[in-house]
Structure 1
Amino acid sequence: MMKFKIFYKAFFCFLLLGFISCEVNNLDDANKIPKSDYSSFNYVLATEDASTANITRFFSFTLDDVDPNKTYDLIQENQKFINSDPSTSSGHQFFKNYIFSMAKDKRGFSSTPGLFRLSLNSSDQIFIESEIFIGKDNLFPSRKLVLYNENLGFYFNEDTGGQTIQSFNPLTMQLGESLNLRDNIKAFRPDAEFEDEYGNNLIRTGSLVMDYQDDKLYVSVVFLKEASFNIIPETDNNFYLAVIDIPSFSFEKIISYAGVKTVGFYVSENNPTTKDEDGNLYFCSWGWNQFSKHDPSKVFRIKAGETDFDRDWEIDIESHFGEGRIAQSITSYNNKLYLHISKDPYLFTSSEDVSTRNGLELSYYEYDTDNPQNFTRLDIPTSNPSARMNIFNIIDDKLFIVVPNAIPGNFSGLYSLDRKGTLKKELQIENKYRPTRFYKLGN
């Protein structure tokens, strides 16, 4: 019996040492030495745990070293996939060797705001390389971010005024000018209420959309009924955008699109806009309105060279796929539009329940932008939904598509599509990881 106890203690200590050594090799939060050689471990896959969307991990790897026919356990394969968790959400904007995230801690829909710039360290781990503080009141809405070029970006900065757009330099992480749209909104809607009885902001700018086309910045303006739940009055059947001239950083006008209240979802990580190679700017509405009645999911656009919505072009998702179906993610590639569309009605009331996240299926579709009635389903396995993910990224002149699936036996991983229309399976991972976004970093 004594020998057994000694053996058990020795075996336990051996396991503990093994786990510790694995953590040291794989997770080294103290290392803030920037990576200098991006010839390998330059691709990064962001994932969330299948059991909870609140855990985001980043895995760097070398794409050419991956066998697309093998299923990888990313943490166990820690020589091929370097694991890190900088406690931020996966951002939708990245360039050069930087990823930008607008939220930290990932609790309560990423309730700690800030502008966090992520990069790879010399151990090939993602870490917070720089950050800009964004204060918050009692409530934290989504804050969209857009990078106009490597020296100029914009984000919603409610802390310095409820309707303030902040400019900054992405390379130096220094703040620039800010633009408060309060007076312009008051002139557009004189009877609008700006705060509720508790002082919470009822009019938000850049919480749903922030994107640019040519030298114009487009910023969503949302008139809320209740600040605490981001509810828009059901009597308001329009989506509003402020048009801002970028060179002068000045307000021009507010435009509206009828039949749509919201674009995207109220989280910072999902980017619901895209531009095609001709310069047309597209908007994807899920139709979501928190606990109120939901509207049909639609895609609409502003044509290149114009500053108002194109009234002659629209994709109505329900007319193609049935009531309650939504388009969740959007991108443009090779002058075609790509959408991630639900197979069954989307259950907004339980969107964060595990049974909903793991049970609902979405398929991948290619749309002809010249004739939006023409669309084709891509030969890619269906996936689970997520409020936080936008599953498309263009890298190396290819469209990369993440396929998240939590149910064992279903494909979870990464596909690519080239300009010739060739689909390729790039990576397959175990179902305990749900990929949310894919990046390639380099100097």
Structure 2
Amino acid sequence: MKSSVIYKAFVGLLFLGMAACEVNNLDDENKNPKTDYSSFNYVLATEDASTADITRFFSFDLEGLDAAKQYDLIQDNQMFVNSDPSTSSGHQFFKNFIFSMAKDKRGYSSTPGLFRLTLNTSDQVFVDSEIYIGKGNLFPSRKLALVNDQLGFYYNEDSGGQTIQAFNPLTMQLGEALDLRPFIKAFRPDVEFEDEYGNNLVRTGSLVMDYKDDKLYVSVVFLEEASFNLISEDEENFYLAVIDIPTFSFEKIIQYNGVKTVGFFVSENNPTTKDEDGNLYFCSWGWNQFNNHNPSKIFRIKAGETDFDSNWEIDIESLFGEGRIAQSIMSYNNKLYLHISEDPYLFESSEEVETRNGLKLSYYEFDTVSPENYVKLEVPASNPASRMNVFNIVDDRLFMVVPNAIAPNFNGVYSINRQGALKKEMQISNKYRPTRFYKLGE
């Protein structure tokens, strides 16, 4: 009897302790937006090493960190404020906002939507506004392009299978919508838009949505089987619709031979980047679900042009060996940075723990004038990052998250500045694989 009372008391105290911890770290009720960004304005997004479907956000002060120390982000709660807004880590952010295109946990895995995140007065990340996007029978990835404070675009399949939606990022109000279906039909008259179950076989903006020179570039993907994102073995090209932004009108469809996909069929991965001269780059790591995969390549559209540059390409296999891939891309200081596998990428087991925690990718800097010239950076190799782009530009520096789930491999963040100086910014427990690095402020 006595032991039973002691046990109940212990459980009660434990419950109260956990509840108190949750109030301090995961206060979902505080919807008061932060106004003072002089501190706790850096945010690191992570996924749990055991599952990519648990994303946490930690705000902190970068200047106060000891780069030689390994931090436990939850235990060191005086330095890191933990929050869990139940969204994936978004690849777009500006001012005091982060944009995510999907819920990814709490029983709502892969629920689509446009979710705008910000910090509250407790320095926690929370969803302050969202736009509903229906998912129909299947949930394809959706890319997001933010042109300026007043204008953004995303793939809105809920308004029609091939619809591109304009919206205002500051007010989160919808603008015009452009249906690309008639133009795709004119480009490929024999196209099948739906399968026998009504699933969409032609997706626009599921792999690429980016802009330059007042033009919006939107991927057009012709699927062989919707439920597995399969592209036909007979397909030989990657397709982009070119849209004029000022008039929001369709111009043409362009194609690049030898590539079928760009990036990965998830909303978090952003496989495009622009350099300071205005060239737009695309990173294909060749993935085609269960069908045969293509060699990984980097290609571009030059500044001032609206067609692919046929005289410029980085062929990853020819430089690094058969089966090697580039999985993340970013332009910084008019150089190109790529995350490249040290061994052949095992597409057939990409989600297996042995692949996610065993395969290594390294960080490289490429000269875009002479793309055959590259340098391997003195940054520790990381695990694969199919759901993330390991690069972000913050404070005029390129930050590189280095995700490794197994100790004692380094797990954390590095940076490089315009003078080429590398710096280890922070090291964290291997329990939390970093996915994005942001800085928020008015």
- Band of TM-score, shorter chain: over 0.9
2:316 counterpart of 1:317: yes
Asked whether the 8 Å contact 1:89–1:110 carries over to 2, the reply is no
Match of 2:405 in 1: 406
**SS of 1:228 mapped into structure 2:** helix
Match of 2:119 in 1: 120
1:247-258 equivalences under 5 Å are 247-258=246-257
2:366 counterpart of 1:367: yes
Q: Which amino acid aligns with 1:377?
A: K
Asked whether the 8 Å contact 1:109–1:267 carries over to 2, the reply is no
Match of 1:93 in 2: 92
Match of 1:134 in 2: 133
TM-aligned CA deviation for residue 410 of structure 1: 0.5
**SS of 2:327 mapped into structure 1:** strand
Q: Which amino acid aligns with 2:64?
A: D
**SS of 1:147 mapped into structure 2:** strand
Match of 1:190 in 2: 189
Asked whether the 8 Å contact 2:360–2:384 carries over to 1, the reply is yes
Match of 1:395 in 2: 394
Q: Which amino acid aligns with 2:341?
A: S
* Consecutive unaligned residues in structure 2, runs of 5 or more: none
TM-aligned CA deviation for residue 110 of structure 1: 4.7
CA RMSD, 1 decimal: 1.4
TM-aligned CA deviation for residue 195 of structure 1: 1.0
Asked whether the 8 Å contact 1:52–1:354 carries over to 2, the reply is no
Match of 1:169 in 2: 168
TM-aligned CA deviation for residue 8 of structure 1: 5.1
Match of 1:61 in 2: 60
Match of 2:70 in 1: 71
Q: Which amino acid aligns with 1:440?
A: K
Match of 2:15 in 1: 16
TM-aligned CA deviation for residue 11 of structure 1: 4.4
TM-aligned CA deviation for residue 62 of structure 1: 0.6
2:227 counterpart of 1:228: yes
Asked whether the 8 Å contact 2:396–2:417 carries over to 1, the reply is yes
2-side partners of 1:368 and 1:142: how far apart? Answer: 31
How many pairs are equivalent?
A: 442
Match of 1:244 in 2: 243
1:201-350 equivalences under 5 Å are 201-350=200-349
| TM-score normalised by L of structure 2 | 0.98
Which digits, 9 at most, give the CA deviation of each residue in 1:49-81, with x for residues without a partner?
Answer: 001111000000011111111100000011110
- Further displaced range: 145-154 or 106-115: 106-115
Which digits, 9 at most, give the CA deviation of each residue in 1:100-158, with x for residues without a partner?
Answer: 00001348995200000000011110000000000111101000000000100000001
1:414-429 equivalences under 5 Å are 414-429=413-428
Which digits, 9 at most, give the CA deviation of each residue in 1:258-306, with x for residues without a partner?
Answer: 0000000000000000000000000000101000000000000000000
* Consecutive unaligned residues in structure 1, runs of 5 or more: none
Q: CA distance change for structure 1 residues 107 and 191 in 2, over 3 Å: closer, same or farther? A: farther
Asked whether the 8 Å contact 2:117–2:129 carries over to 1, the reply is yes
Asked whether the 8 Å contact 1:104–1:111 carries over to 2, the reply is yes
2-side partners of 1:8 and 1:130: how far apart? Answer: 44
2-side partners of 1:108 and 1:377: how far apart? Answer: 41
2-side partners of 1:334 and 1:382: how far apart? Answer: 22
TM-aligned CA deviation for residue 199 of structure 1: 1.3
Which digits, 9 at most, give the CA deviation of each residue in 1:391-441, with x for residues without a partner?
Answer: 100011000000000011010000110000000000000001100000000
Match of 1:32 in 2: 31
Q: Which amino acid aligns with 1:263?
A: V
State the identity as a percent. Answer: 78
Which digits, 9 at most, give the CA deviation of each residue in 1:135-184, with x for residues without a partner?
Answer: 11110100000000010000000111111000000000000000001111
Asked whether the 8 Å contact 2:86–2:106 carries over to 1, the reply is no
Q: Which amino acid aligns with 1:84?
A: S
**SS of 2:24 mapped into structure 1:** helix
Q: Which amino acid aligns with 1:283?
A: F
**SS of 1:225 mapped into structure 2:** strand
| TM-score normalised by L of structure 1 | 0.98
